[in-house]
Amino acid sequence: MSEVQVGFDGDALQQRILALRGERVMVDSDLAELYGVEARVLNQAVKRNLERFPVDFSFVLTKEEKQDVITKCDHLSRLKFSPHLPRVFTEHGAIMAASVLNSPRAVEMSVFVVRAFVRLRQMLIEHKELAERLDELEARIARHDNTLSTLVATIRQMAAPPSTSNRQIGFVVDPREKKA
């Protein structure tokens, strides 16, 4: 099945992967749409197989998390009036959901989902590496700035005219001292 037939392309799918509780997750209704079933059917399959879905695979959102997700994601506005709290799935949970649904489309689309999670993870790693390189460059520039500031201060000190004082150079004898 192609990406066009499903209604999601890679970018659209990546936009439906959310960050919640330190995990990258997909909301049950999005995953169900991708797998070609109703969210109700997906959640029933999960409930029948709860032992396959530990909290690092799937969890139910709190009321506050649901409200936050609805506010941030326009496509989830349909959840606003739902009395149920949505379930979300991590990458591993999405694969497990495909296996409990056991439909050819779900199995085929699980590969698509995994690829989207992997692309997102690669993008995050690339951004992290870029941020680290920028931090390193910033530190290097700061060291150079300090070195240049010291150099400029030394040059100014050397270029300053000598102080003019009326003090005599040489050995001076105080006439009030007693000669021995």
Q: What's the pLDDT tens digit per position in 142-179?
A: 777 778 788 888 887 887 777 666 666 677 677 777 66
Residue 2 predicted with pLDDT over 50: no
How far is residue 25's CA from residue 3's CA, in Å, rounded to a whole number?
20
The predicted model scores a pTM of 0.58
Question: How far apart are the C-alpha atoms of 120 and 117, rounded to whole Å?
Answer: 5
1 pLDDT above the threshold of 50? no
Instruction: Note whether 75 and 55 are within 8 A (CB).
Output: no
Cross-strand pairs, 60:
87
pLDDT value at 9 more than 70: no
CA distance 59 to 142: 46
Cα separation, 70 vs 143, whole angstroms: 46
